[in-house]
Amino acid sequence: MGKFFEGLKPCYCDSSAALYLSDTFEALEKMLSEKVDMIFADPPYFLSNDGITCSAGKAVSVNKGDWDKIESVEEKHDFNRRWIKMCHRILKPNGTIWISGTLHNIYSVGLALEQEGFKIINNITWQKTNPPPNLACRCFTHSTETILWAQKTDKSARHYFNYELMKDLNGGKQMKDVWTGALTPSTEKRFGKHPTQKPVYLADIKWKIWWKAI
Ligand SMILES: C[S@@+](CC[C@H](N)C(=O)[O-])C[C@H]1O[C@@H](n2cnc3c(N)ncnc32)[C@H](O)[C@@H]1O
């Protein structure tokens, strides 16, 4: 495996993968420039506003933790600009970045991407087939998340898109920017639960889009 970090030790490593546990800003600081082909980030959505949601048929707090709280819109945007700028430095010229979010953070993320030298390639809508019901009954059920796919704005940047494979996976038709599927199943939570864990099939599509390039 290539060298990506200067002065950071993995908490797990085998012949094909290494896992690092660190504060994002510290880890990104220690990463070498232009070494990364693809980034997938699932940053805080900042939706912990003391509201309630439904989980397993029960009303539960939406609060995820202190990491999901923010004092102001400006603080949220500053946070997003800082880590996205750092991602720009470590990404290869032809590399791409995927970032997931909801209405709570995705507009800040999209603006931050453009401000920090990225061009958005696609705005993917992840449509959940089994979203939790809306308990307040004062708006539509939240049943989608957004995943932004972006590349560097440099004129010479050429992102890779495995078009034929995507078409094959979609029964011979061009794959659209709406991906439909269920929430993370319990079988994927056997090592512990995270309230915003993403299902494996989402990562799988992103990986395959870029597959032939490596
Ligand atoms: C939307 S959740 C993503 C969770 C992820 N999908 C999972 O299943 O583990 C955002 C995550 O960002 C982490 N986080 C927030 N600020 C961070 C920071 N400065 N450095 C590293 N992780 C951070 C939180 O602990 C949380 O797990």
- The three-point CA angle 176-207-38 to 5° equals 105
Indicate the CATH number for domain 69-131+144-213: 3.40.50.150
Residue 76 main-chain phi, psi, to 5 deg: -60, -45
140: tokens are: 């539509």
Q: How far is the CA of 42 from the centre of ligand 1 (A)?
A: 7
90, exposed or middle or buried, with CB in 10 Å at 0-12, 13-18, 19+?
buried
* pTM of the entire predicted model: 0.92
Task: Kindly report, residue by residue over 133-186, the tens digit of the pLDDT.
Answer: 988 899 999 999 999 999 999 988 999 999 999 999 999 999 999 999 999 999
- Does ligand 1 lie within 6 Å of residue 198's CB atom? yes
**Residue 90: strand pairing partners:** none
Which is more confidently placed, 1 or 112? Answer: 112
Q: How confident is the model at residue 5 (pLDDT cuts 50, 70, 90)?
A: confident
- Does ligand 1 lie within 6 Å of residue 196's CB atom? yes
Task: Kindly report, residue by residue over 20-76, the tens digit of the pLDDT.
Answer: 999 999 999 999 999 999 999 999 999 887 777 777 778 888 888 888 888 899 999
Whether the pLDDT of residue 1 is over 70: the answer is no
Q: What is the pLDDT of residue 214?
A: 47
Q: Which of 21, 29, 31, 42 to mutate to test the pocket of ligand 1 (most atoms within 8 A of CB)?
A: 42
The 10 Å CB-count burial string (b at 16+, else e) for 139-177 is eeeeebbbbbbbbbeeeebebbbbeeebeeeeeeeebee
Domain ranges, ordered by start, for the chain:
69-131+144-213
**Residue 179: strand pairing partners:** 126
The 10 Å CB-count burial string (b at 16+, else e) for 47-71 is bbeeeebeeeeeeeeebbeeebebe
Does residue 109 contact residue 85 with C-beta atoms inside 8 Å? no
User: Tokens 């395959």 belong to which residue?
Assistant: 208
Whether the pLDDT of residue 200 is over 90: the answer is yes
- Does ligand 1 lie within 6 Å of residue 194's CB atom? yes
Q: What is the pLDDT of residue 207?
A: 79
- Does ligand 1 lie within 6 Å of residue 142's CB atom? no
